[in-house]
Amino acid sequence: MRYPAVAGRFYPADKSDLSEEIRKCFLHELGPGLPCHQSSARLISAGIAPHAGYMASGMNAAHLYKRIAEDGPPEAYIIIGPDHHGVPYKAVMCDEDYLTPLGPCRIHEEIAADLKEAIPCDCAAHRYEHSVEVQVPFIQFIDKDPRIVPVIMRDQSKAAAESLAASIRKVCRDRDAIVIASSDMSHYIPKKDAERLNSAVLERIREKDIDGMYSAIEKDRISVCGYGPMAAAILAAGPSRIEVLKYSDSWDSLKYDIRSVVGYGSAVMYK
């Protein structure tokens, strides 16, 4: 069992408090409202959601999870998050159930077993990482019995994203899986600068222009922490269309220091 690292900090550690906090993220003025219906055919192949504390970015993430809830539950969620702690792998998977205050979230054992042939599995490397963890309670909130495959990326180069995406495509060829890229946008810069720089990155994502995304981030040194997972999600899903759902920042949600905000973006990708 992989135990939570940031419960009580990034989100409530109590089950009922956590459920209520997620509900508030949907109902917040920056949120999308609660899911209201379910489609007859699944159309979503991937998405992007932020991974800060729920008080800061949960209402932004709720935009993606509302769309997934209304699209209907997939067979599996492959969650790709960036490494914040220096794991000794280019990419590393965990095949132990993720425990949250909402209960254990089970691993999709068949996909995980197949993916082990391409990337290493070391659950200890996931012990402290929050980028995957904070997505799991949202998934449990919208899906009564989800299966996940958690992956952390240290090497976020385009080549690494291509390699990981190729492995995911191979093991999910006959599976109904959604790839979720976990990423925050620019960190600790003035709000106006964040809006300008992050809009350029999100526009490249909307256009499925991965080279353009990498170029924009490199050119302006934009501190997007999960550009590799976002590239991998686009490459793995091969979407027909990407819709940017919401952009916000820490000033919008917390009203704290307009001169030093963190940006958040959510997007959905369609088959």
pLDDT in tens, 67-87: 999 999 999 999 999 999 999
The predicted pLDDT at position 37 comes to 76
* Burial (0-12, 13-18, 19+ Cβ within 10 Å), 223: middle
Is residue 230 scored above 80 in pLDDT? Answer: yes
What average pLDDT does this structure show over 63-67? 98
User: Would the pLDDT of 201 be above 90?
Assistant: yes
| pLDDT confidence tier of residue 117, bands split at 50, 70 and 90 | very high
Reported as a pLDDT band with limits 50, 70 and 90, residue 38 is confident
Which residue, among 178, 144, 136, 170, has the nearest Cα to 44 in the 3D structure?
Answer: 178
pLDDT digit string, tens, across residues 122-148 = 999 999 999 999 999 999 999 999 999
Closest C-alpha to 80, from 122, 135, 4, 140: 135
| pLDDT score of 216 | 96
In this prediction, residue 39 has a pLDDT band, given cuts at 50, 70 and 90, of confident
Mean pLDDT of 177-190: 98
pLDDT value of position 42 = 92
Between CA 271 and CA 269 the distance in angstroms is: 7
Paired with 105 in beta bridges are 98
The pLDDT of 148-177, averaged and rounded, is 97
Percentage of the chain modeled with pLDDT above 90: 98
* Mean pLDDT on 145-169: 98
Whole-number Å distance between alpha carbons of 19 and 28: 14
Q: Check residue 41 and give its pLDDT.
A: 85
4-23 pLDDT tens trace: 999 999 999 999 999 999 99
pLDDT at 152 over 80: yes
Query: Would you report the helix, strand and coil content of the chain in percent, each value rounded to 5?
Result: 40, 20, 35
Give the pLDDT score at 244.
98
Q: Model pTM? A: 0.97
pLDDT value of residue 40:
73
What average pLDDT does the segment 31-57 reach? Answer: 93
DSSP 38: -
Instruction: Round to whole Å and give the CA distance between 45 and 74.
Output: 9
Q: What percent of the chain has pLDDT over 70?
A: 100
Q: Is the pLDDT of residue 195 over 80?
A: yes
Domains and CATH numbers, the chain: 16-270 (3.40.830.10)
